[in-house]
Chain A
Amino acid sequence: MAQNESLSQELFLSSSPHIASKVAARNLMTNVLIALAPATVFGVLIYGIPALLNILVSIVAAVAGESLFRCITKQDIRAKDLSAVVTGLLLALVLPPTTPLWMTALGAVFAVVVAKEFFGGLGANVFNPALIGRAFLLMSFPASIATWARPLGFGTTLTDAVTGPTPLGIFKLSGGLPGVGADFVAAGLAKTPDYWTTIKTLFIGIHGGTTGESSILLILVGAIFLLATKTIDWRAPLTMIVSACILSLILGMDPLFSIFSGGLIFGAFFMATDYVSAPLTAKGKLIFGCGAGIIAVLIRVFGNYPEGVSYGILIMNAATPFLNRFLQKKYGFVPKKKPAPAGGAQGGTK
């Protein structure tokens, strides 16, 4: 008896369930980091030291910015959950490797503090922080952010980097695939103007662009990892790519080129699947992806600059609370019959 009473002090009392899966929030963030690793390593290999520095600065600035803000506002520091690391890495990957380091740092701090912590921190932000960081830099310093480094290989430094337009930029300027092929040669991006070689180049990723978005192949490797570990849901990325494809076809663009150039694939798998700013429900995710794909293509075609994916996702982020209302059909759902509203109400109250 005495033993029992002393024991009760150490016993846990809590509501069921009393066991939980081993997957904690931190594991999910780790999964995203693992998935991003191939694209990150590739970016550093082809763009060299500037890309590496950009990534490091972005991560450090994001973590430091978040921790400092939480410290000042007297909240516990949450660097351990890795969400700031993910934001920092994502931001660096969607910026050109030539971005001046102070700009990257500013963007990262803006992303975590203004886009995330001002809204209440992890889980409460309305917009994708990394994309907000990128949009902020693009608004503030359009010249630097829309300048893309040519791939030069690891070992080059910032001063050696030569800038050239991204494939999508060329497309935007020349207006047609034959022109793109010619411009590829002119820009030194591809050796031959052949269509499939162009697509292959885009798929493998040795061309100008942002640090992480260039190699579709490696992004897909990461995406498959995320899908296999059930870290992300297939709905939003799939509908985003499919809708972008279909709309490109309707608007007379080459759909393959449309999805392989620019950040569409990267955005679909790593930005549109952001837990916090994307819809929660299955139906909401389908509509979200669809909308983001359509807006991305529309901005690419009719907008002023080839910057569709970021804005497509950010605009759909704003629609997320609304999209969350598209709930799935509940178990045992019975459509309410109009002649007997009293009976239906009674059934609901039980």
Chain B
Amino acid sequence: MAVSTFKRGLLLPTRKHATEGTPVELAPLPKQVVIPINQHFGAPNKCLVNVGDHVRRGQKIADAAAPGPMTVPVHASISGVVKKIEPRTQSNNTEGICVTIEADPDAAGGEEFLPPLDPFTCTKEEALARIREAGITGMGGAAFPCHVKLNPPPNKPIDFIIADGAECEPYLTTDEAVLTEKPNMLILGLTIVMKITGVKKAIIGMEDNKEKLIPMIEREIRLNEQAASVGEISIGLCKTRYPQGGEKLLITALTGREVPSGGLPMDAGCIVQNVGTLVAIAEAFTLGKPLVDRDLTVSGGACKMPKNIRAPIGTLLTDLPPVFMEVDYDKLKKILFGGPMMGNAVPNLNIPIQKNTSGIILLTAAETVAELEGPCIRCGRCIRNCSARLSPVIMNMALEAGDLDEAVAAGLMDCIECGSCTFMCPARIKLVQRFRIGKQRLRIRQQAQQAAQAAKAAAAQPAPAKT
């Protein structure tokens, strides 16, 4: 099978051996969950429950504060009593309102799932409404509302649906577990998405270190009754190379197209969905199940028993039984939500699992970097390895000089923040961090400019009115 790829990028140590090929283990329902009410990229939600309320697993506890497309609801992931509604630190290190639900062992509770819906007979609007109601966001990390992605404007024709199974982050193996254990649900999710969008071609993109899964997935494609009627599903094998799982580079590797600068995948005629998201979509139709659980990898040198687990959203690591999550506190130096290249370091273990938490990695000092920044020796390694072909060192020099325009010319706003430059920097300069700050500075400047223009326009308008 032909192996496609993009230019540049990195060969990372994968460090996946600890959990590679291991089955996803179902964690027992914890005694409490802490569910952030805003878990998506978009407008904020409003909490629908009060302290003392009894809730059931699958019940909606938060939904759009104001009508608008860019929101998805949040559901209770266990049955129990609402104990607290308070701001807490979330996995992105910001504070947000979280609902603490304590499991109620007496009340049999049960689940409150939606009724199953046949995706092949319902209308597109019904299907999109179902995906929204099930609270599905992108599970790869960005948490973009799924129903928005599946409803592109009519002037953006889509040719390809891409299932993103290229898990390029070290340690993480949940996408692989999905491909291994639930290829039938993945194909079903893919056919549903093809049905909704009317796109005839779908590609399952995965890295060539998962090549052995191909025959099984191909068999599942043949077994799926709907697959042939909605279009053609193929497998695209890519080189194991970071950041292959970044949607832009996956599009380039599989279709040869480039997402235009400042654009979205739909501008290149593609919709990219993480394989986990596609499984969640399939479950939302067949079982009526909202997104209340997620698969994640717990791994790292300070994790005594690395494994892939399935846990209710809102679970705190400390509430998991030791067999699922035993931390070696003596060695622990860094807690990551997400992979080591793009994930967040968090201050403690009392951070809930969210819809977009693909893994919790407990790093030892030897696994992470703790060196101070040195002077830039201008070796140009960051330029050589930038998968978006930007010039990080020049962007950084321009930012230090306060020249935002020069930084933009060198590619500041096109940075996908994959961290390749920072990984390769021999002087250990935190380039990506500076680019994030640089982007913020640029946004602030643009807002100020827009405000100034608006003020000018407001000042200019009354004058002709008078005359």
Contact = CB atoms under 8 A, between A and B. Distances in A.
Contacts of A233: 380, 384
A324 B408 contact: no
Interface in A9-24: 10-21, 23-24
Given A20-B369, A275-B377, A334-B260, A15 B428 contact: no
A17 B340 contact: yes
Contacts of A14: 334, 345, 430, 433
Interface of A: 1, 3-5, 7-8, 10-21, 23-25, 27-28, 81, 83, 121-124, 230, 233, 275-276, 280-282, 324, 327-334, 346-350
29 contacts: A4-B318, A4-B349, A11-B334, A14-B345, A14-B433, A16-B341, A16-B342, A16-B344, A18-B341, A18-B363, A19-B12, A19-B13, A19-B340, A20-B422, A21-B424, A23-B424, A25-B426, A122-B375, A123-B377, A230-B384, A280-B378, A330-B389, A330-B411, A330-B414, A331-B390, A333-B261, A347-B260, A348-B408, A349-B262
Given A280-B378, A330-B389, A24 B426 contact: yes
B227 interface: no
A11 B378 contact: no
Contacts of B318: 1, 4
Interface in B343-391: 343-350, 363, 367-371, 374-381, 383-384, 387-391
A81 B372 CA distance: 13
A230 B335 CA distance: 33
A20 B337 CA distance: 18
Mostly helix, strand, loop or mixed at chain A's interface? Answer: loop
Contacts of B428: 20, 24
A89 B332 CA distance: 43
Given A281-B383, A327-B391, A331-B248, A15 B430 contact: yes
B139 interface: no
B33 interface: no
Contact of A19 (B369, B377, B383, B446): B369
Interface in B87-129: 93
Contacts of A123: 375-378, 427
Contact of A124 (B332, B375, B391): B375
Contacts of B334: 11-14, 18
A81 B419 contact: no
A19 B170 contact: yes
Given A28-B377, A230-B384, 4 more contacts: A19-B341, A123-B427, A332-B258, A332-B259
Nearest to B433: A15
B329 interface: yes
A12 B361 CA distance: 13
A43 B217 CA distance: 63
Contact of B261 (A8, A230, A348): A348
B248 to A, nearest CB: 7
A296 to B, nearest CB: 23
**Quick one: which of A1, A11, A276, A346 has the most chain B CB within 10 A?**
A11
A12 B370 contact: yes
A14 B436 CA distance: 13
B237 interface: no
B388 A331 contact: yes
Nearest to B336: A18
Nearest to A15: B433
B261 A28 contact: no
B425 A20 contact: yes
